[in-house]
């Protein structure tokens, strides 16, 4: 670990409509980071439970650090570092299942396999490592890339999958439960390999970018492009750009249309229901719910809950979104006006202290409180940690907070993202994101000189459309093609893009 | 075990829109019964996991039969038989949580506590024993009844709850994992107590009724009324009535309006989503789904799935229901016409072999198949047990059935009721049922001589309405009262009933 | 006009989820009847405008009574009495258009044409006479019946259609704008024909039945069956039956399942929107609406308005329906609680004075008030006829009632059925009713002796199902057939009926 | 008519999600323009019918041209030219009714009346002249502006309203049924007034701008700003800008967020239902509908029709929109795949020949075909004008086109915009547009020098939000305000704007 690199513990889930409340910028924040990452731990524990129930044993508790072990895969190669290479078979099976649920990225693999659009690309990857990202990794390889991979989170690695990747010959450096030092060591192992000069970075949170820029500035200058998918990483790229330190083109895939709709509207519309059911078994019919924030996430939640017979109230600061809520049939209120009567409170604002202690003092017995927004600051959970209130953990991710008069509110995931903590992210959503990442890599790697400068770009509309088109066969959806005459009339290329950049969808 | 009593193993879940495919009538069916009850085992295992994660230890594996143990509660009473009286504290907490989620039955307890409408009632109860039924039991006691209780299913008893009831002084005879002999011994202990002549039966499946009628015919003649809530039990009562053997009035609460709507339409509209999410993490948006049967259950499923952006097809044999499906925006098809294209197949017909091997041969890779209907016969699961197909259990309640060409279909709960196997029944739904049962007991016990003959009755409309009214405060719903003038105009009593018996709601 | 027959003016539209508030039983009510029938007049005037815009001329204003004219059709026959036989071509075209929109009755005509199930039936018909009923009339003839027809309402006859029927050789006695005396004269002409002894009655309101019973009791005794479709007529039949005066079997087709769902739920869900739009051009999105009554009509209205983004409140007296409203996501309130805030008030209770002057005093400026229920009593319109309020008719069927402070409420159709006054009844709905009537005639005419006694019957379930099945091809809906094995398992006949009589759909 | 001005007849309805297929650029197109404007004629004729039904008489047919009449208002002023000044009372009443239905513009009038933000503004207005635009005109005056007004369409003037404005002292030059020469004469009278130098233009179609630029270039240079709301006018402005001829700032209010959502999504979701009902009385339940194009208009139509129980198919060329349709539960198909089976075909693409003769040849009998898109080119109506097909006009805006085998398709509004032809635009939608126009005028008139250059601008986000906020009280919607702490955390001004420009809503 180089002394001039900030030591940080990485906060989980940066890549899924998530942003840490305060960008982590100094070592002191590491413990906070650890706390914040509990959300992901919970999710992982669920996966691990599933895993262990099938394999019978887990080497999670293995005492020896992977860095001290000597392991080789079947081909005799040892350029990797995982928990236990012997778990590869189960990991492979997980990958195979994921392949079936990720039609878009698999279609891309198939269509582009002959072209090898990533031939000669040398990619440093730093993402979560699980069955779904493995499908992305193997797709990039199938498209011609050579790559080295590490984890963007010390808790999120699915060890069996890492083993399967290592067995398949990929230089993977990641395991669940890394120390902070391990974390940076792994990135370093990816970046700094003998006889291997990387020319692309696929980052999720900005740490690989950060390390290379700081520790290997010469190497960094030879990079052709960076693809970043997290809010945090994008934020850091824009700051680099503003500071004049970004010397290569970077692509912000976080804000592409297709990905955004899936991460927010479509995914949340299902996961709010799933999260509430799994954690509380609540019956929705007839319940009164207030949703704070009517952005894409709030819209998704409202639609789903209204569909189940809830009476939905919305709070908003933006009059345009408030008018949308009205036109969608929801009463727009101030939280104070309804907080005594509602059965469920959901935050989706990206703001802080939207639900305050004062609000929670007024809630009725049994009220469920949870957060679907960006960060764990929306509900002022800290205000509940006072001596007069009793906390009772009734199951994983579910706390009863009990007032002196016996009133209980049901707090989910301690105010962290409830859909990440209490439900699963469908592989289909990950397929959208992965295809977006792969296309961004292809675009940056193959772009003629001059198309991209040292700046942060959005995915070109045409590629955004292509990601969507890759996923249409799943729905047996048949696109209509413009005739020549129609294309001319509309002033469009028959292959797209079909909309101006400002189009709102 | 008395020789003149049929030895039967009890099939689980008879009381929740469930009927066993073949009414159990002879000992030979016991192994089938065992198989059928797996559904409930799975559900219980989930609850038990939750339980054990909280208590740290479970005495499930206790080798000694409860019948051989000597146990006393804190008051020194030993007129009970449960797994382990020491678990009572945790059971009590479970009951207290359930009380909060069962507003209707708790309201009844409060309203009628002074009247003691069940004073002098001596009730033999034979139901599932869990936190929710404990709330019913303690309510009946609060209304003045004396009672003895046993389980209607050898697998479904929540031991901690049984312990809590025993600790509270109720003569409870039940534990999870009874043998068939235990089962009948327990019922006998309830029925045949010293110095205690029962005058009411609350039954769920008809076994307590059956035993008393066969073994204690004289005692049976003194019964004032039977309340039965299961399809199976009701079927047996009607057969007794036809055969002229029913010598007491019985009330079929299974078909009361309020209960039926909750068991079928409202509950299933939520549980289909919950079940599919928990077992498969499937994303619903854009999926094509065929629902076989458009009764209340099918209507609930269709509404929920359409709400999530599924394309819903319906199959029906009844032209009236088919027309309803059309008017609700679903294409009505024969299964064969769509089975190659759909992503999910759901049965809700009450019929057998609705999904045949031939259908499953045509399904596409990844198709999910599950049953929301009455019995485990709707999907011809047995037809899948052939040498050419491979079964792979990927998690609890989820099997991949693999065709020689690699095609997999995803079979949930082996064709049993997926909502019982893969999701939880909200306490609110149980509250409706419990209130219905309690009111039926009150009605039969207090009815003037001559109101009921030795026949099977439906719950009087007015009581059905009362059950509904008990649950309105949950939704802060405010009923309008008729003025005298309006009541006269409508020819109605201001207190109801408000509709003729044939009203369809 | 025979002296011993009560002279009555007939209230329009009794057959469409309509009942007059007080059954008309004496001559004194005739002026009231005239008022009540305004609803239909409005609808007719719309049709007439359409008519006249196409034909260029109308003989509505013809001064000579049809009874004084001598008219013959092309075949030289004069056994009819219509306004103007020369209008037949346009009437025929109207009938042809209606045929295309009435698939069920046309399918019945086609399927049963060879069987002639009404051979030898001699039917006296007394219904509205318009393009849609003409389709029914000609279908009955095609099935073998001989018939004579008259109008059940003095205002509702479509003269061109009557002419077309006369031209086709049917003895039709009806015109728009009959006097009361004309009305009974026409019925008499149908009933009392030379060499023609009727054996069936198809009635809509009970007047043909009434006249025959009173004036030709001997003839009445030879009737094989009566089919009645209106609430009023059914009410009168039940009274006859109670009084022991019903000497023939009668069928109440008003309460058949299929017809009821279409008349109430499906039709009203569309017509509430249509009525409000046509009369007020109101934009629905975001509007607050209170619906009084959550029966089938209220359910239909609520579903439609919620779908358009309205916030819907419901008032109910029946706790079961109130619970349904809650589960469907509507707040259940007392009218007083919301009447100051809502934008639209809709009544659908069948009750009287549901919206009182006191309520209307509290409504906000611009509030729209209308009635979708049984009668014109639900809104206390008379209470608005006080000197302090000003009425301003802003267009047909729309009155502004203006308070002294300038507040206006917008009253539609003076509180009569707004969907009849301000929108059209789709032919498809009439097709359902007509097919139901035709099948009831067939059933009664062909029933073996003893199947029906001198009582009032509901349409047999199987025929109800048949009506539905006749309309399925419109939706390209494909019914599934039971296999022999399944039918046996279910205990059903493969041809139906498929449900017990108490089934709630 | 000045010789150097292009003589054009103006196409109606340019301002409501409408664009003429070919921008009108030379005199030869005038007859086409006339044809195109039939759509509006129909709408007007409806209004006129309403009008005449209330006033009893109309001077539409007045033979004398208004230009040849000498008229004065009550104040003795004659600086106007309308059909008949005596109609002013009825026009005033129409305006008063409209005021009640246009809460946003009225709120603006009230809030800004003291500030007089348009003091010293001298506005030339060229828009439709009807009750709703009169509310805008009088609001602008109340805000301090002096103004002269003319019509942007020769058919769309509501004569009574023009009279009311003239009576109130506004120099209005417009009447229904102007000749082309009249049209340009009226504009000229507005622009070129003695002692009145205009400094702002409010245009709808670009004609006032065009005339002033061509005929009075010196005057044009003194203009401070142009506000344009039509697609066509905006198009022309962008062309001027490209050509370097735009010497003043212009604001494109057509693409403001609030207006766009109302014009397209919210308005069309209601008007598609209204249009189809009023023109065909079709019953929606169970009908199969294909919607070509899934932009905002297509989304609105789909949502409404699905809500009424239609089976909705969507065609799309853009994979992102196609994916949205899939996620919303609609099958995405090529038109050819479903055209034989559907009951209704709706176009909403902005493209041409989306429905071709070949498609229509395949449609089934009774299929309804209509257009909700930009222009009358979407359905290839001309291809239906062949000798083998018979056209039969069955009512206003409804043609049956009959194939030799008797098949009929029902063509609405001859392929023009069906919602403009067959339904009304709610005043609330116009209120949104009017408030947007007024705010754009205020912004341009008061902007400090340098804020706007000679270019075309979108309405600033903050003003867009303000338009929305003006309309929230209608829905009793209560906005939440950011605390100082929250505003800081979000990096937002507490008064907005709240979203980045690229936000998609």
CB contact under 8 A, C482 and B323: no
Residue C476 with chain D: CB contacts under 8 Å? 288, 341
Residue D310 with chain C: CB contacts under 8 Å? none
**φ and ψ of D379, to 5 deg:** -95, 130
B303 interfacial to chain D (CB closer than 8 Å): no
D35 pLDDT higher than 60: no
Stretch 358-387 of chain B: residues touching chain C, C-beta under 8 Å: 377
Pick the residue from chain A with its C-alpha nearest to D319: A469
Sorted by sequence, the CB contacts under 8 Å of residue C187 that are 6+ apart come out as C126, C150, C173, C207, C208, C211
Nearest to B281 among A53, A394, A424 (CB): A424
Confidence at A62, pLDDT banded by 50, 70, 90: low
Q: d(Cα A261, Cα D320) in Å, to the nearest integer?
A: 10
End-to-end CA, chain D: 46
- Report, as an integer, the average pLDDT of D394-408: 94
Chains contacting A (3+ CB pairs below 8 angstroms)? B, C, D
Residue D274 or D14, more confident: D274
Q: From B305, B267, B260, B258, select the one nearest B286 (Cα to Cα).
A: B305
A50 pLDDT higher than 80: no
Q: Tell me what pLDDT residue D55 has.
A: 34
Q: d(Cα A270, Cα A372) in Å, to the nearest integer?
A: 12
Mutate to test the interface with D, among B283, B284, B286, B326 (most CBs of D within 10 A): B286
- Report, as an integer, the average pLDDT of A400-405: 97
Q: Nearest CA of chain B to the CA of A474: how many Å? A: 8
Q: From C30, A466, A109, select the one nearest D320 (Cα to Cα).
A: A466
Q: Tell me what pLDDT residue B62 has.
A: 61
Nearest to B395 among A50, A394, A429 (CB): A50
β-pairing, B456-458 vs B408-412, is unpaired
Residue D51 with chain C: CB contacts under 8 Å? none
Q: Tell me what pLDDT residue C194 has.
A: 93
Opening angle at CA D242, ends D240 and D246, nearest 5: 40
Per-residue CA distances from D276 to B20, C54, C113, D269 (Å): 50, 20, 35, 12
Q: Is residue A176 helix, strand or coil?
A: coil
The pair of structure tokens assigned to A69 is: 């072990």
Q: Tell me what pLDDT residue D142 has.
A: 97
Nearest to D274 among C97, C100, C277 (CB): C277
Residue D480 with chain A: CB contacts under 8 Å? 315-317, 334-335
Stretch 447-476 of chain C: residues touching chain D, C-beta under 8 Å: 474-476
**φ and ψ of A251, to 5 deg:** -120, 125
C45 interfacial to chain D (CB closer than 8 Å): no
The pair of structure tokens assigned to C473 is: 């091809």
Nearest to A329 among C311, C327, C331 (CB): C311
Q: Tell me what pLDDT residue C377 has.
A: 92
End-to-end CA, chain A: 46
Q: Tell me what pLDDT residue D22 has.
A: 32
Q: Tell me what pLDDT residue D468 has.
A: 97
Identify whether the C-beta of residue A494 lies closer than 8 Å to the C-beta of residue D349: no
A-D C-beta contacts closer than 8 Å: 164
Angle, in degrees to the nearest 10, between helices D207-215 and D180-191: 70
| pLDDT tens profile D246-260 | 999 999 999 999 999
- The dihedral over CA atoms of B21, B24, B26, B31, expressed in degrees to the nearest 10, equals 70
Q: d(Cα A289, Cα A344) in Å, to the nearest integer?
A: 5
Mean pLDDT of successive 10-residue segments in chain C (505 residues)? 33 32 32 30 28 36 84 97 96 92 95 94 97 97 98 94 98 96 97 96 97 97 96 93 95 94 95 96 96 97 98 98 98 98 97 97 97 91 98 93 97 94 90 97 96 96 97 97 96 95 88
Q: Nearest CA of chain D to the CA of C101: how many Å? A: 9
D258 interfacial to chain C (CB closer than 8 Å): no
Per-residue CA distances from C238 to A6, B217, C243, C455, C463 (Å): 90, 46, 8, 8, 22
Q: d(Cα A429, Cα D257) in Å, to the nearest integer?
A: 28
B413 pLDDT higher than 70: yes
B282 interfacial to chain D (CB closer than 8 Å): no
Query: Please, what are the domains in chain A?
Result: 27-223 (3.40.50.1480), 270-422 (3.40.50.720)
Q: d(Cα B148, Cα C182) in Å, to the nearest integer?
A: 76
Q: d(Cα D204, Cα D186) in Å, to the nearest integer?
A: 15
CB contact under 8 A, C304 and D304: no
Q: Tell me what pLDDT residue B389 has.
A: 98
Percent of chain A at pLDDT exceeding 90: 82
Q: From C381, C299, C387, C312, select the one nearest C345 (Cα to Cα).
A: C312
Facing residues of D392 across strands? D400
CB contact under 8 A, A478 and D335: no
C428 interfacial to chain D (CB closer than 8 Å): yes
Q: From C213, C206, C227, C235, select the one nearest C121 (Cα to Cα).
A: C227
pTM, 2 dp? 0.89
Asked if the peptide bond before residue C497 counts as cis, ω within 30 degrees of 0, the response is yes
Mutate to test the interface with A, among D319, D426, D429, D469 (most CBs of A within 10 A): D319
- Report, as an integer, the average pLDDT of B299-323: 98
Q: From C479, D342, D327, D310, select the one nearest B337 (Cα to Cα).
A: C479
| pLDDT tens profile B98-151 | 998 899 999 999 998 899 999 999 999 999 999 999 999 999 999 999 999 999
Pick the residue from chain A with its C-alpha nearest to D22: A489
Identify whether the C-beta of residue C362 lies closer than 8 Å to the C-beta of residue C356: no
Mutate to test the interface with A, among C283, C286, C302, C310 (most CBs of A within 10 A): C286
Identify whether the C-beta of residue C235 lies closer than 8 Å to the C-beta of residue C23: yes
CB contact under 8 A, A257 and D320: yes
C414 interfacial to chain B (CB closer than 8 Å): no
Q: d(Cα C289, Cα C304) in Å, to the nearest integer?
A: 12
Q: From B287, D503, D319, B283, select the one nearest A430 (Cα to Cα).
A: B283
CB contact under 8 A, D475 and C366: no
Residue C330 with chain A: CB contacts under 8 Å? 311
C304 interfacial to chain A (CB closer than 8 Å): no
Sorted by sequence, the CB contacts under 8 Å of residue A271 that are 6+ apart come out as A372, A419, A423, A425
| pLDDT tens profile D333-378 | 999 999 999 999 999 999 999 999 999 999 999 999 999 997 789 9
Q: Nearest CA of chain D to the CA of C366: how many Å? A: 8
What is chain D's alpha carbon radius of gyration, rounded to the nearest angstrom? 23
B420 pLDDT higher than 90: no
Angle, in degrees to the nearest 10, between helices B88-101 and B159-167: 100
**φ and ψ of D25, to 5 deg:** -130, -10
Q: d(Cα B301, Cα B303) in Å, to the nearest integer?
A: 6
Element spanning D160, H or E: helix D159-167
| pLDDT tens profile A412-442 | 999 999 998 898 888 999 999 999 999 999 9
A304 pLDDT higher than 60: yes
D176 pLDDT higher than 60: yes
B181 pLDDT higher than 90: yes
Neighbours of D2 (CB within 10 A): 11
Q: Could you say which DSSP state residue B192 is in?
A: S
Q: d(Cα D435, Cα B65) in Å, to the nearest integer?
A: 80
Q: Tell me what pLDDT residue C62 has.
A: 62
CB contact under 8 A, A285 and C331: no
The pair of structure tokens assigned to A214 is: 């700081």
C330-367 burial, b for 16+ CB within 10 Å, e for fewer? bbbbebeebbeebbbbbbbbbbbbbbbbebbeebeebb
Pick the residue from chain C with its C-alpha nearest to D262: C285
Q: d(Cα B305, Cα C297) in Å, to the nearest integer?
A: 25
Residue D61 or D395, more confident: D395
CB contact under 8 A, A318 and D496: yes
Neighbours of A319 (CB within 10 A): 23
């Amino acid at each position: 670990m180089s002394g001039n690199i900030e030591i940080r513990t990485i906060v989980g889930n940066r890549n899924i409509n998530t942003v840490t409340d305060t960008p982590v910028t100094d070592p002191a924040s590491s413990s906070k980071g650890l706390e914040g990452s509990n959300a992901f731990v919970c999710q992982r524990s669920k996966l691990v439970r599933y895993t262990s129930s099938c394999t019978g044993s887990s080497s999670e508790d293995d005492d020896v650090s992977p860095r001290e072990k000597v392991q080789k895969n079947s081909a005799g190669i040892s350029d990797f570092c995982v928990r236990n290479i012997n778990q590869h078979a189960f990991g492979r099976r997980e990958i195979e299942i994921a392949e079936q649920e990720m039609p878009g990225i698999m279609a891309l693999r198939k269509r582009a396999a002959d072209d090898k659009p990533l031939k000669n690309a040398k990619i440093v990857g730093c993402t979560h490592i699980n069955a779904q990202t493995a499908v992305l990794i193997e797709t990039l390889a199938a498209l011609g890339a050579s790559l080295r991979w590490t984890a963007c989170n010390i808790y999120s690695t699915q060890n069996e999958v890492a083993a399967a990747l290592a067995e398949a010959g990929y230089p993977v450096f990641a395991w669940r439960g890394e120390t902070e030092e391990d974390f940076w060591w792994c990135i370093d192992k990816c970046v700094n390999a003998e006889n291997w000069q990387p020319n692309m970075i696929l980052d999720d949170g900005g740490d690989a970018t950060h390390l290379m820029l700081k520790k290997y500035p010469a190497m960094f200058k030879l990079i052709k492009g960076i693809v970043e998918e997290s809010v945090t990483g994008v934020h850091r790229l824009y700051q680099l750009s503003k500071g004049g330190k970004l010397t290569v083109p970077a692509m912000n895939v976080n804000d592409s249309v297709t990905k955004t709709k899936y991460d927010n509207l479509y995914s949340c519309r299902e996961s709010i229901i799933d999260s509430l059911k799994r954690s509380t078994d609540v019956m929705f019919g007839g319940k009164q719910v207030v949703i704070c924030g009517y952005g894409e996430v709030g819209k998704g939640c409202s639609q789903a809950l209204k569909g189940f017979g809830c009476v939905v109230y919305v709070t908003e600061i933006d009059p345009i979104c408030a008018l949308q809520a009205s036109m969608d049939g929801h009463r727009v209120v101030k939280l104070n006006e309804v907080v005594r009567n509602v059965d469920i409170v959901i935050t989706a604002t990206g703001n802080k202290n939207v639900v305050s202690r004062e609000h929670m003092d007024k809630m009725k017995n049994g009220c469920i409180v949870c957060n679907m927004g960006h960060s764990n600051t929306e509900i002022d959970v800290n205000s509940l940690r006072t001596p007069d209130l009793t906390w009772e953990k009734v199951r994983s991710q579910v706390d009863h907070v009990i007032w002196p008069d016996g009133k209980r509110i049901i707090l989910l995931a301690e105010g962290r993202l409830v859909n990440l903590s209490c439900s699963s992210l469908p592989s289909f959503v990950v397929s959208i994101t992965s295809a977006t990442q792969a296309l961004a890599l292809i675009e940056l790697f193959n772009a003629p000189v001059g198309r991209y400068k040292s700046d942060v770009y959005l995915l070109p509309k045409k590629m955004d459309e292509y990601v969507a088109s890759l996923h249409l066969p799943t729905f047996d959806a048949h696109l209509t093609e413009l005739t020549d005459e129609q294309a001319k009339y509309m002033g469009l290329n028959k292959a797209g893009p079909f909309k101006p950049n400002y189009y709102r969808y």
